Structure 1
Protein backbone atom coordinates (compact mmCIF):
# COMPACT_ATOMS: atom_id res chain seq x y z
CA UNK A 1 0.00 0.00 0.00
CA UNK A 2 1.09 3.54 -0.69
CA UNK A 3 0.79 6.37 1.83
CA UNK A 4 -1.48 9.20 0.76
CA UNK A 5 -1.21 11.53 3.74
CA UNK A 6 -1.36 11.93 7.50
CA UNK A 7 -4.71 10.97 9.06
CA UNK A 8 -5.58 14.54 10.04
CA UNK A 9 -5.24 15.84 6.45
CA UNK A 10 -8.68 14.47 5.52
CA UNK A 11 -11.35 15.70 7.95
CA UNK A 12 -14.91 14.42 8.27
CA UNK A 13 -17.08 15.52 5.33
CA UNK A 14 -14.10 16.52 3.20
CA UNK A 15 -12.70 15.36 -0.11
CA UNK A 16 -9.12 15.64 -1.27
CA UNK A 17 -7.22 14.95 -4.47
CA UNK A 18 -3.85 13.22 -4.64
CA UNK A 19 -1.32 12.26 -7.27
CA UNK A 20 0.72 9.22 -6.37
CA UNK A 21 2.80 6.92 -8.56
CA UNK A 22 1.58 8.88 -11.59
CA UNK A 23 -2.10 8.25 -10.75
CA UNK A 24 -4.70 10.92 -9.92
CA UNK A 25 -6.86 9.83 -6.98
CA UNK A 26 -9.50 11.25 -4.71
CA UNK A 27 -10.39 10.36 -1.14
CA UNK A 28 -13.46 11.24 0.91
CA UNK A 29 -14.20 10.83 4.62
CA UNK A 30 -17.92 10.39 5.30
CA UNK A 31 -19.51 9.22 8.55
CA UNK A 32 -16.06 8.25 9.84
CA UNK A 33 -15.30 5.95 6.88
CA UNK A 34 -12.75 6.50 4.11
CA UNK A 35 -13.43 6.01 0.41
CA UNK A 36 -10.92 6.26 -2.44
CA UNK A 37 -11.38 6.32 -6.21
CA UNK A 38 -9.35 7.03 -9.32
CA UNK A 39 -9.95 10.68 -10.23
CA UNK A 40 -11.41 9.85 -13.62
CA UNK A 41 -14.99 10.39 -14.77
CA UNK A 42 -16.29 7.27 -16.57
CA UNK A 43 -18.09 9.50 -19.10
CA UNK A 44 -15.11 11.32 -20.62
CA UNK A 45 -12.10 9.95 -18.74
CA UNK A 46 -11.22 13.38 -17.37
CA UNK A 47 -10.51 14.50 -13.78
CA UNK A 48 -13.64 15.25 -11.76
CA UNK A 49 -12.69 18.59 -10.17
CA UNK A 50 -12.12 22.10 -11.53
CA UNK A 51 -10.63 23.42 -8.32
CA UNK A 52 -8.19 21.51 -6.09
CA UNK A 53 -9.91 19.17 -3.61
CA UNK A 54 -13.44 20.15 -4.77
CA UNK A 55 -15.07 16.79 -5.45
CA UNK A 56 -18.33 17.04 -3.50
CA UNK A 57 -21.65 18.64 -4.39
CA UNK A 58 -22.99 21.56 -2.34
CA UNK A 59 -24.57 19.24 0.24
CA UNK A 60 -21.30 17.24 0.57
CA UNK A 61 -23.37 14.07 0.15
CA UNK A 62 -22.33 13.12 -3.41
CA UNK A 63 -19.18 13.22 -5.53
CA UNK A 64 -19.76 15.54 -8.50
CA UNK A 65 -18.04 15.79 -11.87
CA UNK A 66 -17.43 19.50 -12.43
CA UNK A 67 -17.51 19.16 -16.23
CA UNK A 68 -20.92 17.58 -16.87
CA UNK A 69 -22.50 17.51 -13.42
CA UNK A 70 -22.61 13.73 -13.04
CA UNK A 71 -23.29 12.67 -9.44
CA UNK A 72 -21.74 9.62 -7.76
CA UNK A 73 -22.54 7.91 -4.46
CA UNK A 74 -19.64 8.39 -2.04
CA UNK A 75 -20.10 4.90 -0.60
CA UNK A 76 -19.90 2.99 -3.91
CA UNK A 77 -18.82 5.36 -6.68
CA UNK A 78 -21.98 4.53 -8.65
CA UNK A 79 -23.18 7.29 -10.98
CA UNK A 80 -26.78 8.11 -10.04
CA UNK A 81 -27.31 11.15 -12.31
CA UNK A 82 -25.74 12.54 -15.45
CA UNK A 83 -24.34 11.22 -18.72
CA UNK A 84 -22.67 8.17 -17.14
CA UNK A 85 -25.69 6.95 -15.10
CA UNK A 86 -25.23 3.28 -14.24
CA UNK A 87 -21.43 3.42 -14.54
CA UNK A 88 -19.08 3.77 -11.56
CA UNK A 89 -15.86 5.37 -10.46
CA UNK A 90 -12.99 2.92 -10.03
CA UNK A 91 -12.82 2.17 -6.31
CA UNK A 92 -9.49 1.64 -4.56
CA UNK A 93 -8.72 -0.17 -1.31
CA UNK A 94 -8.01 2.33 1.46
CA UNK A 95 -7.13 2.03 5.14
CA UNK A 96 -6.00 4.25 7.98
CA UNK A 97 -3.69 3.84 10.96
CA UNK A 98 -1.73 6.19 13.24
CA UNK A 99 0.95 6.56 10.56
CA UNK A 100 -1.34 7.71 7.75
CA UNK A 101 -3.98 7.00 5.17
CA UNK A 102 -2.95 4.26 2.75
CA UNK A 103 -4.26 3.26 -0.67
CA UNK A 104 -3.64 0.25 -2.85
CA UNK A 105 -3.32 0.78 -6.59
CA UNK A 106 -4.40 -2.29 -8.55
CA UNK A 107 -1.52 -4.02 -10.29
CA UNK A 108 1.19 -2.51 -8.05
Structure 2
Protein backbone atom coordinates (compact mmCIF):
# COMPACT_ATOMS: atom_id res chain seq x y z
CA UNK A 1 0.00 0.00 0.00
CA UNK A 2 1.32 3.43 -0.86
CA UNK A 3 1.33 6.27 1.68
CA UNK A 4 -1.25 8.06 -0.47
CA UNK A 5 -3.55 5.03 -0.45
CA UNK A 6 -3.18 4.70 3.31
CA UNK A 7 -4.05 8.40 3.74
CA UNK A 8 -7.05 8.08 1.41
CA UNK A 9 -8.34 4.98 3.23
CA UNK A 10 -7.88 6.63 6.63
CA UNK A 11 -9.74 9.71 5.38
CA UNK A 12 -12.59 7.54 4.05
CA UNK A 13 -12.84 5.71 7.39
CA UNK A 14 -12.86 9.04 9.24
CA UNK A 15 -15.64 10.40 7.01
CA UNK A 16 -17.62 7.23 7.67
CA UNK A 17 -17.11 7.67 11.43
CA UNK A 18 -18.45 11.23 11.14
CA UNK A 19 -21.45 9.96 9.14
CA UNK A 20 -22.09 7.36 11.83
CA UNK A 21 -21.84 9.88 14.67
CA UNK A 22 -24.14 12.26 12.78
CA UNK A 23 -26.71 9.52 12.35
CA UNK A 24 -26.42 8.61 16.05
CA UNK A 25 -27.08 12.02 17.58
CA UNK A 26 -28.98 10.13 20.30
CA UNK A 27 -25.61 8.99 21.66
CA UNK A 28 -24.45 11.74 23.95
CA UNK A 29 -20.83 12.85 24.21
CA UNK A 30 -20.74 11.89 27.87
CA UNK A 31 -21.76 8.34 26.90
CA UNK A 32 -18.93 8.20 24.38
CA UNK A 33 -16.49 9.51 26.97
CA UNK A 34 -17.66 7.04 29.60
CA UNK A 35 -17.46 4.06 27.26
CA UNK A 36 -14.62 4.89 24.88
CA UNK A 37 -12.63 7.70 26.46
CA UNK A 38 -13.25 10.14 23.61
CA UNK A 39 -16.15 12.10 22.13
CA UNK A 40 -17.03 14.38 19.25
CA UNK A 41 -15.26 17.28 20.97
CA UNK A 42 -12.10 15.17 21.23
CA UNK A 43 -12.28 14.51 17.48
CA UNK A 44 -12.64 18.25 16.86
CA UNK A 45 -9.62 18.94 19.09
CA UNK A 46 -7.53 16.30 17.32
CA UNK A 47 -8.57 17.69 13.93
CA UNK A 48 -7.64 21.24 14.98
CA UNK A 49 -4.29 20.09 16.38
CA UNK A 50 -3.50 18.21 13.15
CA UNK A 51 -4.36 21.27 11.08
CA UNK A 52 -2.24 23.54 13.26
CA UNK A 53 0.72 21.12 13.07
CA UNK A 54 0.61 21.64 9.30
CA UNK A 55 0.43 25.42 9.64
CA UNK A 56 -3.32 25.74 9.08
CA UNK A 57 -4.89 27.78 11.87
CA UNK A 58 -8.32 26.51 12.84
CA UNK A 59 -10.46 27.77 15.69
CA UNK A 60 -12.16 25.52 18.19
CA UNK A 61 -15.55 26.51 16.75
CA UNK A 62 -14.43 25.86 13.16
CA UNK A 63 -13.15 22.41 14.09
CA UNK A 64 -16.33 21.54 15.96
CA UNK A 65 -18.45 22.62 13.01
CA UNK A 66 -16.48 20.26 10.77
CA UNK A 67 -17.07 17.35 13.16
CA UNK A 68 -20.68 18.12 14.10
CA UNK A 69 -21.51 19.23 10.55
CA UNK A 70 -23.30 22.26 11.92
CA UNK A 71 -22.47 24.96 14.43
CA UNK A 72 -21.86 23.40 17.84
CA UNK A 73 -24.48 25.58 19.54
CA UNK A 74 -27.06 24.38 17.02
CA UNK A 75 -26.13 20.73 17.63
CA UNK A 76 -26.37 21.26 21.38
CA UNK A 77 -29.83 22.83 21.05
CA UNK A 78 -31.07 20.01 18.84
CA UNK A 79 -29.45 16.98 20.44
CA UNK A 80 -27.70 17.53 23.77
CA UNK A 81 -29.48 16.44 26.92
CA UNK A 82 -28.57 17.16 30.51
CA UNK A 83 -26.30 14.44 31.84
CA UNK A 84 -27.80 12.26 34.52
CA UNK A 85 -26.19 12.09 37.96
CA UNK A 86 -25.06 8.55 37.11
CA UNK A 87 -23.42 9.72 33.86
CA UNK A 88 -21.63 12.52 35.69
CA UNK A 89 -20.29 10.14 38.36
CA UNK A 90 -19.12 7.66 35.71
CA UNK A 91 -17.43 10.51 33.81
CA UNK A 92 -15.55 11.71 36.88
CA UNK A 93 -14.42 8.17 37.67
CA UNK A 94 -13.25 7.40 34.12
CA UNK A 95 -12.18 10.90 33.11
CA UNK A 96 -8.90 10.94 31.19
CA UNK A 97 -6.25 13.22 32.66
CA UNK A 98 -6.27 15.46 29.55
CA UNK A 99 -9.95 16.45 29.86
- The normalised TM-score by structure 2 is 0.25
More strand by share: 1
TM-score, length basis structure 1: 0.24
Question: Whose helix fraction is larger, Structure 1's or Structure 2's?
Answer: 2
Say which one has the larger Rg: 2
